[in-house]
Structure 1
Amino acid sequence: MRLAELSERSGVPSATIKYYLREELLPAGLRITATQAEYGEEHLRRLRLVRALIQIGRVPVATAREVLAALEDESLDQHRRLGAATWALPHGPAPDESDPATGAARREVDRLLADLGWRFSSRTASSSPPYRMLVTAVTALMKLGYPCDSAHLTPYARIAAQLATRDLDMIEERTTPMEQVEAAVTLTVLYEPVLLSLRRLAEAEESNRRFGKGNG
């Protein structure tokens, strides 16, 4: 297909596609004349992934390029490719290492991961954006006096494990590694609001059951 058709099928303006080509986010097409190139289905799939990273995931162009490089790195297994994509997504603030409560929170998070049997080495965990975000959240809970030790967090972690299984089932339904990475990015970004909304709706339902008029 020509650039115009690639633009029409993907919904991405031609000028944006040309920008992605210049930034090496999209591989060059097969040159057929001095001014025209031919593009295939692989370009359409890559373009969808790039858009998922940049538009949905709000990933900077330079970071998107790193994710795509990891995708093409045949020395990486699919687990690491998926990790490179999802870890590149925006996360919450990193822990404040000057705060004395951070150390206590990190110890509690490490205890939680050990109790769960989740295979995170200290080096891997410390470089993980979700791990750092969890430490920051637990620090805030500790300072406000809310329960956040391993015993209190474990039920939430068990539910998260079930959600992760569902996510990976959906990702695994995709047929190619690139489609799986695209699904990982899209599901991570779009399903988090879904999960938050469902939790709040469930809390409202449970609150009505416990405290609503006529239920006492």
Structure 2
Amino acid sequence: MKISELSRRTGVPVASIKYFLRQELLPAGRATAATLAEYGDEHVQRLRLIKALTALGGLSIAATRNVLAAIDQADSSEGALGAVSYALPVPVAAQSAAGDEEEAEADATAGAEVAELLAALDWQAPGTSPHVQGLTSALKELRRLDARYAPGELAAYARLAESVARLDLERAAGVDDPVALAERAVIVFAICAPVFELLRRLAQEDQVRRRAAGDGAEAASPR
């Protein structure tokens, strides 16, 4: 197909396709003349992934290039999922303005709390994981505001998150092609996460309204 057809099938403007070609995010098409080239289904798939990473995932061109390189080198579906997961922005709490010594002590306390939680859950995540570091920062900020979780509360939330994670990965089940899997991962990680957060807020709204109406007993009971 010509570049105009590639644009029509993917919804990506021709100018953007040419830009992705110059940035080497998209492989060159098969040259048919000095200024013409033909593109195939692999270019359609690649463009869909680029669009997902940049538009849905909010990644820069440089970050997108790194993700694509990692996906191309991945030898398993888990590798492709991991590349996308580590590349997407990580929610991190704002850093406090405490002094160096106090900050180091707060980091150590929150880090120990996260390590203890991961060990109790038997979750496989290295200390270098951006998600471990993000959770450490968040817990440190909660402690600074005197709003930390009570013993057992964080583990209860973590178990719920574990159930959601299983459902998330089931949506990627049966996809063996690394590029198609990476596109699905962006959708799950970047788009389904806000859906879950909105469901959580709707549930909170329901609970608040029930409690305000004096129906706390029913609000607290499972259905």
TM-score of the aligned structures, taking structure 1 as reference length = 0.90
Checking the alignment, whether the CA contact within 8 Å between 2:52 and 2:183 is kept in structure 1 is yes
Distance across 1 between alignment mates of 2:7 and 2:152: 52
Within a 5 Å distance, the mapping from 1:13-32 to structure 2 comes to 13-32=13-32
Distance across 2 between alignment mates of 1:5 and 1:171: 29
Instruction: Name 2:4's counterpart in structure 1.
Output: 4
Instruction: Name 1:87's counterpart in structure 2.
Output: 86
State the AA in 2 paired with 1:135.
Answer: T
Within a 5 Å distance, the mapping from 1:34-183 to structure 2 comes to 34-74=34-74, 76-93=75-92, 98=100, 99=103, 100-120=105-125, 124-125=126-127, 127-148=128-149, 151-183=152-184
Distance across 2 between alignment mates of 1:48 and 1:178: 9
SS at match of 1:201: helix
Instruction: Name 2:185's counterpart in structure 1.
Output: 184
Q: Over aligned residue pairs, what C-alpha RMSD do you find?
A: 2.0
Distance across 2 between alignment mates of 1:150 and 1:117: 17
Distance across 1 between alignment mates of 2:66 and 2:189: 18
State the AA in 2 paired with 1:37.
Answer: A
Distance across 1 between alignment mates of 2:150 and 2:178: 38
Checking the alignment, whether the CA contact within 8 Å between 2:45 and 2:179 is kept in structure 1 is yes
Structure 2: which 5+ residue stretches go unaligned? Answer: 218-223
Count of aligned residue pairs for this structure pair: 211
Change in Cα spacing, 1:88 to 1:214, as seen in structure 2 (3 Å) is closer
Change in Cα spacing, 1:150 to 1:35, as seen in structure 2 (3 Å) is farther
Shift of 1:175: 4.7
Checking the alignment, whether the CA contact within 8 Å between 1:52 and 1:185 is kept in structure 2 is yes
Shift of 1:144: 1.8
Shift of 1:161: 0.8
| Cα displacement string for residues 145-188 of structure 1 (whole angstroms, at most 9, x for unaligned residues) | 22426622111111111111111110124352211111111221
Change in Cα spacing, 1:146 to 1:94, as seen in structure 2 (3 Å) is closer
SS at match of 1:19: helix
| Cα displacement string for residues 27-68 of structure 1 (whole angstroms, at most 9, x for unaligned residues) | 111111111111111100100100111111111111111111
Change in Cα spacing, 1:150 to 1:77, as seen in structure 2 (3 Å) is farther
Checking the alignment, whether the CA contact within 8 Å between 1:95 and 1:133 is kept in structure 2 is no
Identity of aligned residues (%): 40
Shift of 1:94: 7.4
Distance across 2 between alignment mates of 1:113 and 1:28: 45
Change in Cα spacing, 1:154 to 1:176, as seen in structure 2 (3 Å) is same
The answer to which of 87-96 and 12-21 deviates more is: 87-96
Checking the alignment, whether the CA contact within 8 Å between 2:110 and 2:139 is kept in structure 1 is yes
